Amino acid sequence: MRAEPIALGGWQRRERTLTFAVVGIFALVHAVFVISLPRIYMGIHYPTDLVAGALIGSGAAALGKIARVRTAVVGPLLHWRRKYPGLFYACFFAASFQIATGFGPSIELARFALAVAEAVFHQLQ
């Protein structure tokens, strides 16, 4: 009787691995043909930019699979989330917004601050 659940569990594991492989291949094809190649064609990025980004992303994913690294990085964030949830979620929103907008608002704010600092510096001279 115990052999059936083990065999069924093995089948489910293989099925899940196959599903992950199909989803991974689809994600790779989407990233190359829908995202990367149009960016090269439109002149937004050089091919080396995309290769470097892919290597950095693959390296980060490989590091994320190591339990000690994952614990060292995520542990303090989870502690911060438990201790100060409001501040954590506000900062997480701000960071994700910056990533989603390509850091545009931060760049504009930095340019404005630099222009104000230059104007003040010129007034002081």
The identity of residue 32, as a single letter, is: V
Q: DSSP string covering 14-73, please?
A: HHHHHHHHHHHHHHHHHIIIIIIHHHHHTTSS-HHHHHHHHHHHHHHHHHHTSHHHHHHH
* pLDDT surpassing 60 at residue 96: yes
Encode pLDDT of 1-58 as tens digits: 444 444 445 555 667 777 888 898 999 899 999 999 999 999 998 999 989 988 999 9
CA nearest to 37, candidates 26, 27, 50:
50
